[in-house]
C-alpha cells in the first residue's frame, strides 16, 4: 500500500509474463503455414492432409499433374494449444488530477472460474484449447496475474480450490478468508489481504439461503491500514446469482449486501465502502441503474430482463447470423412478465414496495476513470469483462463510496483483441473473466468534491 510517498512502478516494470509476445505468434509467417519444407520427413504427409487425404507412401510414378482446386477446408497442422494467441496487454490508466493524500491501496476483483464448473459446462469453451482449461495451468496463470499486479486486497469469486490458492498467496504475504456457498455447490467467495498493509477488524458472511435468496454467499470485511491506523475501510465481495430470468433475486441479494455494508460502515465511524464481485448484470441494465442510483421502480421493468444478460450473446454483439432454432426462447423474450407479490418481496423486502432502494451512494471505479473508446462503452464501463461461447459483455465491477477515490485502473483489452482469442481462458488469462484492478486513495473533505468525478486519460 505504501503510505509514505509511494512511487509507482514504471510501465516497463510490468512482469514479463504479463506483456510478453507469444513466441509462436511473433515468429509465425505465412510461409510457416504453407506446405512443410521438402527436407522435412513429414512434408508429404502434411501436404496430403491439407490437400487430398490420399496415401502418404512414396511412389516411383511420374509427378502428378498440378493440384486441382478443392472446396475442402484448409487443415491447420498446428495443435490447438500451439496456435498463435493474440497478445494480451493491459495498461494502467492514470487519473489526471493528483490528490494530496498519499495513502493509497490497490484492489482486485476476479471471478476465477471454478474447476468443477469449467468441467461441467464444457459447451461454453469449445473454442478453447484443452491445455488452457486445465486447472493446474489456470491456477498458475491466475496466481501470476495476481502477484504481478501486487494488490493489497484481492476479492475472488467462484473459488473451489481455496486451499491450493491460499498456499501460494500466503507465500506472497497474503492472509485469506473464505466462504463456501450453501447447497450442493462447492465454490464460494474469498478475500485475501496483505498482512503488512492491512489488519482485519471484523468480518461477516452472508448466506442468502437464509433469506430465501438462493445459495449464493457474500463477504464483508472491515480493515485497518497498518501504516496509518486512522484509515479504515469496509470491503464487500459477492457473486450474484447467474440466472438471467431472476432479476428479483439479484436485486434482493444486492439490496441486502448494501444494507449490511451500510450498517457495518456506520458501526466503525462511517468508513469508506468498496463492493467488488461478479454482479451478473450489464452496464445497460436496470440492476446497474439500481446500484448507481440507489433505487429502482421495478414495475417499469420485466423481471426477466433486469440484468441485461440476454442481450450479450457473442452473435448479437458481433452482428453475426444467429441460431434461431430455439423458438420457445424467442417467444419467451416477447411475452410480457408481470410481478407477483412474492417477487416484489424478494426484490425489495416488502410486498407493497414497488420502489427498491439501498442505502449506499456508490460509483464504479472504471466508469469514473475514463478510458479509450476501443475498450469502454458509452457509460465508461469496460466493453467486456467476460467472454465465452454464449456471452460477451461486462458483469464485473468495483464500487466505491465517499472516503476513497480511484487514482488509476488497469484497462481491459480491446474488443478486437478479445475476439481474436476465440474466448477465455487464453494463454495469458486464467479465467473466462478478466480481473478488475483499481488503485484507490483515501480522501479528506478538502481532497475532492464528491459531486465531481476523476477523469483520466489513456495516453492513446
With a cut of 70, say whether residue 112 has pLDDT above it: yes
pLDDT for 433 equals 99
Q: How confident is the model at residue 319 (pLDDT cuts 50, 70, 90)?
A: confident
pLDDT for 323 equals 52
Buried b (16+ CB within 10 A) or exposed e, 259-283: ebbbebbeeeeebbbbbbbbbbbbb
Mean pLDDT value across residues 83-105 = 81
Mean pLDDT value across residues 418-435 = 97
With a cut of 60, say whether residue 322 has pLDDT above it: no
Share of the chain above pLDDT 70, in %: 73
Please write the tens of the pLDDT for every residue from 341-357: 999 999 999 877 789 99
pTM: 0.79
Q: How confident is the model at residue 36 (pLDDT cuts 50, 70, 90)?
A: very low
Question: Could you tell me which residues come within 8 angstroms of residue 28 by beta carbon, excluding any fewer than 6 positions away?
Answer: 84
The DSSP element (H or E) to which 414 belongs, if any, is: none
Mean pLDDT value across residues 138-164 = 98
Residue 154 and residue 119: Cα distance in Å, rounded?
25
pLDDT for 82 equals 52
Residue 237 and residue 33: Cα distance in Å, rounded?
47
The C-alpha cell that represents 217 in the structure block: 454467499
Residue 330 and residue 164: Cα distance in Å, rounded?
43
Mean pLDDT value across residues 181-198 = 98
Residue 62 and residue 264: Cα distance in Å, rounded?
85
Q: How confident is the model at residue 32 (pLDDT cuts 50, 70, 90)?
A: very low
**Of 208, 444, 457, which Cα lies nearest the Cα of 346?**
208
End-to-end CA distance of the chain: 28
Give the domains, in start order, of the chain with CATH numbers.
Answer: 102-457 (3.60.10.10)
pLDDT for 1 equals 55
Q: Which of the 8 DSSP states describes residue 405?
A: E
Strands (E) across 66-125 are located at 92-95, 104-111
Backbone angles phi, psi at 189, to 5 degrees: -110, 150
pLDDT for 84 equals 62
Q: Indicate the average pLDDT of the chain.
A: 83
Amino acid at each position: 500500500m505504501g503510505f509514505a510517498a509511494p512511487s509507482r512502478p514504471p510501465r516497463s516494470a510490468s512482469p514479463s509474463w504479463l506483456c510478453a509476445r507469444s513466441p509462436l505468434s511473433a515468429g509465425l509467417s505465412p510461409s510457416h503455414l504453407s506446405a512443410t519444407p521438402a527436407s522435412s520427413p513429414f512434408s508429404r504427409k502434411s501436404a496430403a492432409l491439407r490437400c487430398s487425404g490420399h496415401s502418404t507412401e512414396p511412389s516411383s510414378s511420374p509427378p502428378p499433374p498440378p493440384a486441382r482446386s478443392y472446396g475442402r477446408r484448409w487443415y491447420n497442422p498446428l495443435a490447438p494449444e500451439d496456435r498463435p494467441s493474440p497478445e494480451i496487454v493491459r495498461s494502467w490508466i492514470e487519473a489526471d488530477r493528483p490528490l494530496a493524500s498519499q495513502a493509497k491501496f490497490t484492489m482486485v476483483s476476479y471471478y476465477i472460474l471454478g474447476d468443477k464448473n469449467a468441467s461441467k459446462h464444457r459447451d461454453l469453451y469449445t473454442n478453447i484449447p484443452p491445455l488452457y482449461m486445465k486447472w493446474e495451468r489456470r491456477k498458475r496463470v491466475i496466481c501470476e496475474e495476481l502477484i504481478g499486479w501486487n494488490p493489497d486486497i484481492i476479492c475472488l469469486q467462484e473459488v473451489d480450490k481455496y486451499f491450493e490458492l491460499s498456499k501460494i498467496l500466503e507465500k506472497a504475504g497474503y492472509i485469506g478468508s473464505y466462504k463456501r456457498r450453501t447447497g450442493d455447490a462447492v465454490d464460494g467467495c474469498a478475500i485475501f489481504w496483505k498482512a503488512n498493509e492491512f489488519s482485519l477488524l471484523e468480518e461477516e458472511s452472508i448466506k442468502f439461503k437464509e433469506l430465501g435468496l438462493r445459495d449464493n454467499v457474500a463477504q464483508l470485511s472491515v480493515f485497518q491500514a497498518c501504516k496509518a491506523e486512522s484509515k479504515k475501510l469496509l470491503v464487500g465481495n459477492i457473486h450474484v446469482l447467474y440466472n438471467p430470468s431472476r432479476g428479483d433475486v439479484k436485486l434482493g441479494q444486492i439490496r441486502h449486501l448494501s444494507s449490511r455494508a451500510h450498517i457495518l460502515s456506520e458501526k466503525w465511524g462511517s468508513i469508506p465502502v468498496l463492493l467488488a464481485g461478479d454482479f451478473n448484470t450489464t452496464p445497460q441494465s436496470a440492476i446497474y441503474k439500481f446500484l448507481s442510483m440507489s433505487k429502482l421502480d421495478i414495475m417499469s421493468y420485466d423481471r426477466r430482463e433486469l440484468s441485461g444478460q440476454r442481450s450479450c450473446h457473442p452473435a448479437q454483439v458481433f452482428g453475426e447470423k444467429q441460431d434461431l432454432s430455439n423458438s420457445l426462447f424467442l417467444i419467451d423474450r416477447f411475452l410480457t412478465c408481470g410481478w407477483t407479490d412474492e417477487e416484489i418481496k424478494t426484490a425489495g423486502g416488502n410486498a407493497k414496495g414497488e420502489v427498491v432502494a439501498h442505502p449506499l451512494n456508490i460509483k464504479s471505479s472504471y466508469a469514473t476513470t475514463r478510458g479509450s473508446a476501443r475498450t469502454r462503452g458509452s457509460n465508461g464501463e469496460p466493453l467486456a469483462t467476460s467472454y465465452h461461447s454464449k456471452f460477451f459483455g461486462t458483469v464485473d465491477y468495483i464500487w466505491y463510496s465517499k472516503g476513497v477515490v480511484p487514482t488509476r485502473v488497469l484497462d481491459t483489452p480491446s474488443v478486437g483483441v478479445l475476439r481474436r482469442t476465440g474466448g477465455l481462458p487464453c494463454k495469458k488469462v486464467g479465467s473466462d473473466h478478466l480481473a478488475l484492478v483499481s488503485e484507490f486513495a483515501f480522501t479528506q473533505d478538502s481532497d475532492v468534491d464528491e459531486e465531481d468525478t476523476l477523469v483520466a486519460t489513456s495516453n492513446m
